Amino acid sequence: MTQGSIVALVTPMFASGEIDWESLEALVEWHVSSGTVGIVPVGTTGESPTVSPEENCEIIRFVVEKTKGRMTVIAGTGANSTAEAIEFTAFAKVSGADACLLVTPYYNKPTQEGLVAHYSAIADAVDLPQVLYNVPGRTACDLLPETVARLAVLPQVVAIKEATGSLERAREIRQLCGETVAIYSGDDETSCDLMLDGAQGTISVTANVAPKTMAKMANAAVKGEATLARSLDAKLSGLHQTLFLESNPIPVKWALSYMDRIPSGIRLPLTGLSELHHNEVIAAMHQAGVLT
């Protein structure tokens, strides 16, 4: 599996809400040149809940085409409907994605048995590597380590994005699954420690704004170079915090717009970042060295 910094990519939009394809291509090129090793289109940060099914598929196809094999593409294909997740995953495979990111079904709160059945059904239907995604703070559904171990027997299940922010949770998954399932951090604030503790990388929101530093930090951390990794992570600490002052991706899209990387568009029910937080985000960008 890919090791290092993987960006949970935003979906650039105009003020009208229409997708800005030119800016999306520019972001792909920026990440290639910055050392980002992988890219996740239409995850939570890419506003998967508010893009249409047709847009979801087109964004995946577009990103695969523009990366041209220079980065690993892990397509966001999760849904709270198993049938819909299968459709998205099948499209990702046809489009040439390297893997898919499958968030636990949200809102309908399946049991652990339901989660096993959900991921197994997708694996049966589509032969594409799966990265499970556990973020109970957003989904109201916790994919427990014992359930991950049950799913690890499926050849399609190769990794998990663990976003609880708990080092102990990641250790428990590793103890139960060994090297069968790669672990990626889904929590920027604890990602450095998680990688130093054995995780293969991070699927990062912060990488949208500071891709070069995030890539260097992740590379150092997965190699066990703790002093360098923590020094770089200290520069990013402000972003790790301020990019979550309001619901993701509100702050990160505002930051990228402030940097003139993307327009200011975001889709309802999300709205632009409150002016109350602007100076905090700007200060964090200065700390990270992305503003001079």
- Catalytic residues, which ones? 133, 161
Q: Do 163 and 133 contact (CB within 8 A), yes or no?
A: yes
**How far apart are the C-alpha atoms of 44 and 242, rounded to whole Å?**
17
106: DSSP letter: P
Bridge partners of 183, per DSSP, are: 160
**How far apart are the C-alpha atoms of 78 and 155, rounded to whole Å?**
18
Kind and range of the H or E run holding 57: helix 53-67
- For residue 264, CA distances in Å to 103, 211, 249, 257, 283 come to 26, 20, 12, 5, 19
